[in-house]
């Protein structure tokens, strides 16, 4: 997995190391200094009444992805994003390169770490005979996003079989996205907060209680991290989590395709685009989940709060009428002998104050909404109903082919009749990709990756946009429908310790499902620091 780097002096590396260390330390001190001003959870809001959404309403943020997904039976990602840990190999290589500014103890009862992620993106001018309120801007532009997180956790007891973790994380998200993150179903930067009015003020991204109950004394290894501090866990166990969290930290994980800080950057590459998971504007929600883990399989289920409106920062705390249910079955089975592989099947069902595209289109075409509200386009927010149900499923696979090559894929589908509410405007998605470690050119922590994803929406959703309707993300004023097809490639370079740089390029055909516009080329440069 991880190999030893030579110790020869390199002046350029020293400069990078010094700069990276200073940047990481500065971010840590800055966030620590203003933690007292971090935003408290919002007061419980009243249920929203049917409303006419302003045309210029700002859209939802990208879900702030954590850089360290949890391990499942020692089969998750380690801190460097390398291949999954072998549960039968209880000891890590002693000559592994350091991939954080400082090593973290495997036996500590507390966790303190952080990360900073800076992405500079620019796109070239592209063909566009028209554009609307929520279009991806065609003239070409460049933007920068900044995301910083402090991870803290405390393990009150020494028990392995009945371990408990108390988790508290503080985050700051600043900068902006291209076109303020409008106009693409598969947006190009997962770190972007799509409501820039929220600003970079730090907020609590996680506050969580994690409880393990083991059913056996037999243990398996896992990588300690901010979601679980122990290096060993019972082989058969139940884990409970309750508090504020991001669902992609625990569901739909994928080794080669889940980490926007060291891998791909596109929304619908790093997550299943058709999974409209419960989240506020920044990508977090409050609720609880339970997970059972066995030798080669796991099953998990969670119940979480939904936002009061599509793309909303406030949550509806009346769980009887608004909630998101998520379930996933995971099988750690390989199709290649002596290599690792995992299959995951995801189900979700959301109840929230949602409208249906067909009802909005029909009421506009027969003149009802124009006469009553004076609207000139179909408006789905005029037809929202409490406890409306939206559901779907997803399939997620990853397979190690050789020591350095991993392939992965996703498929997602949802019923598509109800409005896209919390993540992005995708009703069906299919994705294939791969990454390759740089061992052959003596850069074992470096990665090169390539992914292709194709997104689609259902007929009623198409008609709504064609007539000029606006979603919380899309709306060109017209629509000549075609699947939104995206190709993304990157190279991630491990410069020194926890300092990484990446080059990324994305090609988007039919942006926003509109064949009249595009194609779009987006280039990115990323700097990432783990400390």
Helix, strand, coil shares, percent, the chain, to 5: 15, 40, 45
Mean pLDDT of the 364-380 span:
95
pLDDT of residue 3: 41
By DSSP bridging, strand 306-307 and strand 428-438 are unpaired
Q: Please state, in angstroms and as integers, the Cα–Cα distance from residue 211 to each residue in 32, 189, 333, following that order.
A: 27, 33, 27
Among 53-57, 114-118, 195-199, name the one with the lowest average pLDDT.
Answer: 53-57
Q: Which two tokens stand for residue 379?
A: 């408006």
Distance CA(504)–CA(266), nearest Å, equals 10
Mean per-residue pLDDT, 154-162: 93
Q: How many whole angstroms separate alpha carbon 464 and alpha carbon 364? A: 10
Q: Does domain 16-43+68-530 have CATH number 2.40.160.10?
A: yes
DSSP three-state, residue 216: coil
What one-character DSSP code corresponds to residue 125? -
CB atoms within 10 A of CB 49: 7
What span, in angstroms and rounded, lies between the C-alpha atoms of 455 and 128?
20
What pLDDT digit, counting tens, does each position of 275-331 carry?
A: 999 999 999 999 999 999 999 999 999 999 999 999 899 999 999 999 999 999 999
Task: Indicate if the pLDDT at residue 156 is higher than 90.
Answer: yes
Q: What is the pLDDT of residue 47?
A: 42
* pLDDT surpassing 80 at residue 45: no
Tokens of 255: 């080794």
Q: How confident is the model at residue 226 (pLDDT cuts 50, 70, 90)?
A: very high
> 321-357 pLDDT, tens per residue?
999 999 999 999 999 999 999 999 999 999 999 999 9
pLDDT at 36: 34
Query: For the chain, what is the mean pLDDT?
Result: 85
Parallel, antiparallel or unpaired: strands 341-355 and 306-307: unpaired
Position 414 confidence tier, pLDDT thresholds 50, 70, 90: very high
pLDDT, residue 50, reads 40
Q: What is the mean pLDDT of residues 427-447?
A: 97
Q: Establish whether the linkage from the previous residue to 519 is cis, with ω within 30° of 0.
A: yes
Q: What is the pLDDT of residue 95?
A: 62
> Considering the entire predicted model, what is its pTM?
0.81
Distance from C-alpha of 519 to C-alpha of 508, rounded to nearest angstrom: 6
Strand blocks (E) in 378-424: 384-400, 405-414
- More confident: 163 or 10: 163
pLDDT of res. 108: 86
- CA separation for the pair 417, 358 (Å, rounded): 7
pLDDT at 101: 83
Task: DSSP letter for 358, please.
Answer: H
350 in helix, strand or coil? strand
The string of pLDDT tens digits covering residues 120-142 is 999 999 999 999 999 999 999 99
- Torsion angle, CA of 65/69/70/71, rounded to 10 degrees? 160
- Give 262-292 as a 3 state SS string: CCCCCHHHHCCCCCCCCCCCCCCEEEEEEEE
Q: Which of the four pLDDT bands, split at 50, 70 and 90, describes residue 395?
A: very high
Task: Give the mean pLDDT of 507-514.
Answer: 98
């Amino acid at each position: 997995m991880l190999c030893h780097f030579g110790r020869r002096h390199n002046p350029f590396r020293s400069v990078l190391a010094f700069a990276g260390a200073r940047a990481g330390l500065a971010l840590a001190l800055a966030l620590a200094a203003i933690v007292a001003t971090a935003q408290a959870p919002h007061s419980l809001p009243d249920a929203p009444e049917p409303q006419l959404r302003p045309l210029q309403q700002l859209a939802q943020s990208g879900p702030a992805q954590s850089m360290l997904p949890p391990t499942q039976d020692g089969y998750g990602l380690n801190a460097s994003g390398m291949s999954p840990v072998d549960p039968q190999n209880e000891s890590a290589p002693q000559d592994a390169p350091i991939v954080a500014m400082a090593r973290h103890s495997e036996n500590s009862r507390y966790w303190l770490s952080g990360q900073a992620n800076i992405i500079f993106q620019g796109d070239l001018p592209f063909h566009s005979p028209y554009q609307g309120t929520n279009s991806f801007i065609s003239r070409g532009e460049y933007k920068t996003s900044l995301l910083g997180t402090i991870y803290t956790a405390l393990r009150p007891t020494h028990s392995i079989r009945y371990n408990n973790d108390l988790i508290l994380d503080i985050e700051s998200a600043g900068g902006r996205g291209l076109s303020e993150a409008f106009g693409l179903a598969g947006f190009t930067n997962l770190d972007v907060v799509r409501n820039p009015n929220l600003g970079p003020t730090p907020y609590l991204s996680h506050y969580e209680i994690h409880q393990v109950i083991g059913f056996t004394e037999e243990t398996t290894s896992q990588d300690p991290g901010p979601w679980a501090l122990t290096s060993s866990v019972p082989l058969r166990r139940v884990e409970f989590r309750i508090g504020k969290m991001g669902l992609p930290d625990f569901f739909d994980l994928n080794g080669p395709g889940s980490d926007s800080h060291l891998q791909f950057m596109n929304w619908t590459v790093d997550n299943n685009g058709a999974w409209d998971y419960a989240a506020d504007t920044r990508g977090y929600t409050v609720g609880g989940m339970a997970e059972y883990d066995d030798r080669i399989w796991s099953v998990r289920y969670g119940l979480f709060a939904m936002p009061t409106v599509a793309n909303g920062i406030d949550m509806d705390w009346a769980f009887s009428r608004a909630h998101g249910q998520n379930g996933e079955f995971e099988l750690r089975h390989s199709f290649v002998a002596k290599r690792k592989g995992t299959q995951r099947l995801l189900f979700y069902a959301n109840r929230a104050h949602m409208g249906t595209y067909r009802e909005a289109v029909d009421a506009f075409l027969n003149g009802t909404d124009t006469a009553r509200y004076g609207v000139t386009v179909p408006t789905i927010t005029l037809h929202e109903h409490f406890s409306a149900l939206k559901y779907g499923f997803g399939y997620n696979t990853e397979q190690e082919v050789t020591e350095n090559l991993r392939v992965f894929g996703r498929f997602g589908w949802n019923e598509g009749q109800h409005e896209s509410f919390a993540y992005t405007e995708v009703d069906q998605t299919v994705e294939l990709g791969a990454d390759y470690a740089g061992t052959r050119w003596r850069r074992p922590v470096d990665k090169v990756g390539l992914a292709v994803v194709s997104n689609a929406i259902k007929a009623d959703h198409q008609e709504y946009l064609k007539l000029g309707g606006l979603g919380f993300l899309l709306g060109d004023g017209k629509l000549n429908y075609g699947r939104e097809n995206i190709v993304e490639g990157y190279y991630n370079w491990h410069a020194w310790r926890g300092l990484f740089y990446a080059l990324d390029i994305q090609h988007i055909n039919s942006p926003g499902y509109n064949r009249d516009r595009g194609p779009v080329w987006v280039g990115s440069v990323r700097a990432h620091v783990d400390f």
